[in-house]
Amino acid sequence: MAKDKFEIVGFDQFQKAVVDISKRIQNTIVKDALNPISDAMAARAKSNAPVDKGRLRSAIDVRQRFVKRGAVYSSDAFVEGGVSRQDPFGAFYAHMVEFGHKTRGAGTVFGSSSFVFPQPFWEPAFVSTYGPGGAAGLQKARTSISNAILSRLNNTVPKGKI
């Protein structure tokens, strides 16, 4: 009685590729997954900003950076607050636009304050991009990272041989 033999060609390369994904490749995969999500968040926040031109809209940006502790790579949408009121590149008042604020005695004879109603631009952008609580954004990032890893592994294994 003869025993059938078969050999899986390429399994060693596949296993090595899984184990040896370098930090550089890991960073590239995560960067390619996170940047589009952060860019979408910033674009939505800019479109939600209550004024078409000005410091608030131009202060919304995306920052990509490598983080030493914890996560390897971070991509953040943010509003540049500026150093002071005189900083021409920052929107120090972004939180007041988002949440509303009291004025200081303007508009009345007796000096009582009035309230400027909120014009939210950041939270609606967050909810539409990441979903309530951020779950949808986390799922988008996981899916994108998984697809990128599988794509890289598929490119390292010889095709058509089993």
What pLDDT is attached to residue 138? 80
pLDDT tens sequence across 58-94? 888 888 877 665 556 677 788 887 767 777 777 888 8
Q: Is 49 part of a structural domain of the chain?
A: yes
Percent share of the chain, pLDDT over 90: 1
Q: Supply the DSSP symbol for 160.
A: S
**Looking at the predicted structure, is the pLDDT value of residue 125 above 50?**
yes
What pLDDT is attached to residue 141? 81
Q: Is 31 part of a structural domain of the chain?
A: yes
**Looking at the predicted structure, is the pLDDT value of residue 1 above 50?**
no
Number of domains in the chain: 1
Q: Is 18 part of a structural domain of the chain?
A: no
Taking the C-alpha atoms of residue 156 and residue 92, their distance in angstroms, rounded to an integer, is 49
Has this prediction a pTM greater than 0.75? no
E strand map for the chain: 60-66, 73-79, 101-102, 115-116
